[in-house]
Structure 1
Amino acid sequence: MERKRSSSPETGSTSHGSSDTEYDVFLSFRGPDTRASFTDSLYHTLLDKCINVFIDKQGIDVGEEIGPEIFQAIDNSKICIPIFSKNYAFSSWCLRELEHMMQRRKTNELEVMPIFYDVEPSDVKLETRVYADALTLHKEKHGAEIVQRWVKALREVTGIKGWDTKNKGYVNSPNSIFPFLYVSFA
């Protein structure tokens, strides 16, 4: 499985942050939902601004265990951006990433900036069936204890001010919703 590490075209390496920070941004997303549209556009927009981005370029194969390199990339990032789409919660990988992000956020080691892509924060907060149905399926496969940790992470992330792209026309144009992001890396 190939992982994509992007670096500043001028230096070939990250010029931002502490020596422990390898990436400016880690993107977490459900590939089939957003990879070829919003996420790809966001990724290239960030690269164009010389922001060092970790993105899973190939996806994770069914049955494959989450690799330590994913957690390492989260740990070595300044900001994680989970992109919540309709099927995000059906991916145990996405939920594991989110749980890890939220744990790191509690220790002030990571900033999390959620994007609600074609879902409402209330969906992610489990106030509707959109994500609740996915978690019911996960409970059968992964057990109640693990799913409860994912529920906690989902509810916590909705307490963070994020971006809601639903009905806003941002489907392939992240530029208009992230103007401050570019300034924060200057």
Structure 2
Amino acid sequence: MASSTSSSSTTLQDKYDVFLSFRGEDTRHNFTSHLYAAFCQKKIRTFIDDDGLKRGDEISPALLKAIEESKISVIIFSKEYASSKWCLDELEKILECKEKNGQMVMPVFYHINPSDVRKQTGSFKDAFTKHEKKFKKMLEKIQRWIAALIEASNLSGWDLMGFD
């Protein structure tokens, strides 16, 4: 168990080496499960949400804490990633930890073109059209999600367009 340390430290007491951010319906039972298994095999402490996490309007404090307690976040962008308010909220928190704590962020573009993420085209455009209708009074939040997608898609990562 990690002991608490001073918050002035640039790195929090890391509980995880890697936090995986992904849209479960798209990648849980294929790419993400294989990546998680490979990390575990190499003894890399990896946080992955489970199917049993309670879904609600807001990300749970436990999930936010897991992001904060990770050295690296791997964001697996997939076709339906932007349709999930949870994924977009996770992305915001990940980029906040990158800025505040120097957390390394590594994007993976799984069956999605990085420019679709950056410019919100294709399935990302469709997702934001729905978000704008559903969250009419939360336009600032939607703008933060768009800014987060642009920032994350401009990071060096992996384009796995043809990977199965």
Given candidates 104, 109, 113, the residue that maps to 1:120 is 113
Given candidates 122, 129, 138, the residue that maps to 1:136 is 129
8 Å Cα contact 2:109/2:161 also seen in 1: yes
Residue in structure 1 matched with residue 19 of structure 2 by the alignment: 26
For residues 118-139 of structure 1, give each alpha carbon's deviation from its aligned partner in whole angstroms, at most 9, with x where no partner exists.
Answer: 0011011125232022112112
1:62, distance to aligned residue in structure 2 (A): 5.1
Aligned identity (percent) is 45
Map 1:23-172 onto structure 2 (within 5 A): 23-58=16-51, 60=53, 63=56, 65-142=58-135, 143-167=138-162, 169=163, 171=164
More helix by share: 2
Residues 73 and 32 of structure 1: is their aligned pair in 2 closer, same or farther, counting only changes over 3 Å?
same
CA RMSD of the aligned region, Å? Answer: 1.8
8 Å Cα contact 1:81/1:113 also seen in 2: yes
8 Å Cα contact 2:59/2:90 also seen in 1: no
For residues 43-65 of structure 1, give each alpha carbon's deviation from its aligned partner in whole angstroms, at most 9, with x where no partner exists.
Answer: 00000000000000215555453
8 Å Cα contact 1:122/1:128 also seen in 2: yes
Distance of 2:75 and 2:20 partners within structure 1: 6
For residues 126-183 of structure 1, give each alpha carbon's deviation from its aligned partner in whole angstroms, at most 9, with x where no partner exists.
Answer: 252320221121123232111000000000001101001112x3x2xxxxxxxxxxxx
8 Å Cα contact 1:23/1:77 also seen in 2: yes
Segment drifting more, 77-86 vs 55-64:
55-64
Q: Gapped runs of 5+ residues in structure 1? A: 1-12, 172-186
Q: Gapped runs of 5+ residues in structure 2? A: 3-10
For residues 95-125 of structure 1, give each alpha carbon's deviation from its aligned partner in whole angstroms, at most 9, with x where no partner exists.
Answer: 0000111111122431100000000110111
Question: What SS does the corresponding residue of 2:97 show, helix, strand or coil?
Answer: helix
1:88 maps to amino acid: Y
Distance of 1:163 and 1:59 partners within structure 2: 29
2:130 maps to amino acid: L
Tell me the matched-pair count. Answer: 154
TM-score normalised over the length of structure 1: 0.77
